[in-house]
Amino acid sequence: MNPVAGSDLHSFHGPPDRMEIQRELISQLYRSALLTLASSFGAACLLSYVLWVSAEPEGLWAWYAVVVLVTLLRFVHVRRILARGVSVASAREDERLFAIGSLAAGVIWGCSIVQSVQLAPATELLVVPCVMAALSTSAIVSYTRSLRSFAGFVIPSMTPYAVRLIWPDGVFEPIMAGFMVFWSVLLWVAARHLNRGHRNRIELALNNAQLIEILTSARDRAESASLAKTRFLANMSHELRTPLNAILGYAQMMDERILGPQDFGKYGDYPSIVVRSGKHLLQIVDRILDVSKLEAGAVDLSEDLIDVENLIEGAIKFVVPSAERGGVELDWRPLEQLPCLRGDATKIRQILLNLLSNAVKFTPRGGAGDGQFAQHERRPNGDTCLGYGHRNVTGGPRECAGPVCTSGEPGTHSAPARIRRGQ
């Protein structure tokens, strides 16, 4: 497992912040209120139909008009809050406003008992429990996400009906009183249980969302590391071949005495080239063995002053065997006073080797290419930046690498290296 991803998993502490849970709870309260408010119109119409025969029309119409007005006002308020969104800062105030609206609705529904007492005793005995059951169901379904809103609706709406059942015609009914106490306790316990359940579900959802975010981030980093490793290993074949070709090429030239068996002076520089190629190959192998740094995104650079001319000459000597086998002529004519670079010699040498080996490899037969190392720009701090580019004389695009900043003396210096395909 990626160590960074593992540290993210260990940093997962849950549970989420209580204010965030409260915000989501109030947001769900407002979303569920839309259906409750819409059903209030139907419930008011149904109760008005039942009471129409025995109740006074004026009082019934007045009660129904107040129900419609309050419900519309609450509907507008709920839509406004949903459009704005419930934030952590506004959650308490939004809950308070919702509780006030619930209290107003509860008072209005409690006032409907005034119309119910005009029913016949047998009908009233059936209607009152049905209204109480409907109010209890509405409160359980819609208001348990806020206990203040639940109490604000249940107490004023159900108390008048409970009193009517306990004292019918002015006679106290102890059994009914005990049942009302039991019913009230049951409602409150159920409301608290459901409220706790809503909170637990929200906490679980927030924990899951946080965990999914952490796991997704860890997966993305693992995929990026895997892709980087794949690209790194794919490039190794090219980077390893260049110094190996130099080692094998010069060794083969000395072994087969290509320049003549008696003229060993011509081979004088070849052993040092083989040694440098071997050292460069060893450095590349060290990079392969240090893949863990690549995965962690921490690649160390060794910053030193670099002699540009020696670096370029050494890189050209690396690709000489490949050029001779391919019939490519290398023409290196250095100019004087190339500035020194400040950077990692191994990395810059590898850049030059990649550019030169590609130039040799992809120069078309009968074509020619030229390359140039030159000052690219001068920075405000006095540093000089060098760039390299090569192009195919037959019309190919220019490929550039750079700029690389130096700390040498500024000036315009160039050193062209011409590459020609032999016939």
The answer to whether residues 246 and 321 touch, using CB atoms and an 8 Å cutoff, is yes
Over pLDDT 70: what percentage of the chain?
68
Scored b (16 or more CB within 10 A) or e, 181-208 reads eebbeebeeebeebbeebbeebbeebee
Q: Kind and range of the H or E element at 67?
A: helix 57-84
Looking at the fold, whether 312 and 196 belong to one and the same domain comes out as: no
Structural domain includes residue 310 = yes
- Number of residues assigned to the chain: 423
Question: How far is 168 from 127, CA to CA, in rounded Å?
Answer: 14
User: Residue 247 above 90 pLDDT?
Assistant: no
Question: How far is 282 from 142, CA to CA, in rounded Å?
Answer: 73
User: Which of 166, 184, 215 is at the close of a domain?
Assistant: 215
As a whole number, the mean pLDDT across the chain is 75
Quote the pLDDT of residue 333.
62
404 C-beta neighbours (distance < 10 Å), count:
20
Quote the pLDDT of residue 366.
53
Counted domains in the chain: 2
User: Which of 177, 198, 215 is at the close of a domain?
Assistant: 215
Looking at the fold, whether 37 and 133 belong to one and the same domain comes out as: yes
Looking at the fold, whether 157 and 10 belong to one and the same domain comes out as: yes
Find the mean pLDDT for residues 368-378. Answer: 50
For the chain, the maximum distance between any two Cα atoms, rounded to a whole number of angstroms, is: 137
- Long-range CB contacts (< 8 A, 24+ apart) of 132-140? 132/158, 132/161, 132/162, 132/165, 134/43, 135/109, 135/161, 136/183, 136/187, 138/36, 138/39, 138/43, 139/187, 139/191, 140/187, 140/190, 140/191, 140/194
Find the mean pLDDT for residues 205-233. Answer: 85
Structural domain includes residue 205 = yes
The answer to whether residues 383 and 405 touch, using CB atoms and an 8 Å cutoff, is yes
370: pLDDT confidence band, cut at 50, 70 and 90? low
User: Residue 6 above 90 pLDDT?
Assistant: no
69: pLDDT confidence band, cut at 50, 70 and 90? very high
Scored b (16 or more CB within 10 A) or e, 341-361 reads bbbbbbebbbbbbbbbbebbe
Lowest average pLDDT, out of 3-17, 140-154, 205-219, goes to: 3-17
Structural domain includes residue 110 = yes
The answer to whether residues 98 and 30 touch, using CB atoms and an 8 Å cutoff, is yes
Q: Which two tokens stand for residue 99?
A: 């509780």
Structural domain includes residue 367 = yes
Question: How far is 338 from 316, CA to CA, in rounded Å?
Answer: 16
Looking at the fold, whether 82 and 197 belong to one and the same domain comes out as: yes
Question: How far is 32 from 28, CA to CA, in rounded Å?
Answer: 6
4: pLDDT confidence band, cut at 50, 70 and 90? very low
Structural domain includes residue 396 = yes
The one-letter amino acid at 46: L
Q: State pLDDT tens for residues 253-281.
A: 776 666 666 455 666 666 777 777 777 77
The one-letter amino acid at 174: P
Quote the pLDDT of residue 336.
56
Looking at the fold, whether 206 and 334 belong to one and the same domain comes out as: no
Q: Which two tokens stand for residue 423?
A: 């016939």
Backbone angles phi, psi at 15, to 5 degrees: -80, 170
Q: Which two tokens stand for residue 56?
A: 């006074």
Structural domain includes residue 272 = no
User: Residue 359 above 90 pLDDT?
Assistant: no
CATH of the domain at 362: 3.30.565
User: Which of 160, 180, 215 is at the close of a domain?
Assistant: 215
- The residue behind tokens 């063995």 is 289
Q: Which two tokens stand for residue 200?
A: 């637990």
Quote the pLDDT of residue 237.
64
The answer to whether residues 109 and 66 touch, using CB atoms and an 8 Å cutoff, is no
Looking at the fold, whether 42 and 186 belong to one and the same domain comes out as: yes
> H/E/C letters for each residue in 76-103?
HHHHHHHHHCCCCCCHHHHHHHHHHHHH
Looking at the fold, whether 209 and 353 belong to one and the same domain comes out as: no
Lowest average pLDDT, out of 18-27, 302-311, 361-370, goes to: 361-370
Looking at the fold, whether 210 and 327 belong to one and the same domain comes out as: no
Structural domain includes residue 259 = no
Quote the pLDDT of residue 2.
42
Quote the pLDDT of residue 264.
56
Using DSSP bridges, classify how beta strands 399-406 and 304-306 pair: parallel, antiparallel or unpaired. unpaired
Q: Which two tokens stand for residue 177?
A: 């009183």
Looking at the fold, whether 35 and 176 belong to one and the same domain comes out as: yes
List CB contacts of 174: < 8 A, sequence separation 6 or more: none
Looking at the fold, whether 206 and 305 belong to one and the same domain comes out as: no
User: Residue 94 above 90 pLDDT?
Assistant: yes
Structural domain includes residue 35 = yes
44 C-beta neighbours (distance < 10 Å), count:
20
The answer to whether residues 116 and 125 touch, using CB atoms and an 8 Å cutoff, is no
The answer to whether residues 319 and 330 touch, using CB atoms and an 8 Å cutoff, is yes
100: pLDDT confidence band, cut at 50, 70 and 90? very high
Full-model pTM = 0.53
CA contacts within 13 A on the Cβ side of 338: 24
User: Residue 166 above 60 pLDDT?
Assistant: yes
User: Residue 404 above 50 pLDDT?
Assistant: no
List CB contacts of 299: < 8 A, sequence separation 6 or more: 293
Looking at the fold, whether 206 and 313 belong to one and the same domain comes out as: no
Looking at the fold, whether 10 and 159 belong to one and the same domain comes out as: yes
Structural domain that includes position 152:
3-215
159: pLDDT confidence band, cut at 50, 70 and 90? very high
Higher pLDDT, 240 or 12: 240
Q: Any bridge partners for residue 368, and if so which? A: 420
Find the mean pLDDT for residues 39-51. Answer: 85
List CB contacts of 352: < 8 A, sequence separation 6 or more: 311, 312, 315, 388
Cα-based angle 38, 41, 47 (whole degrees, multiple of 5):
140
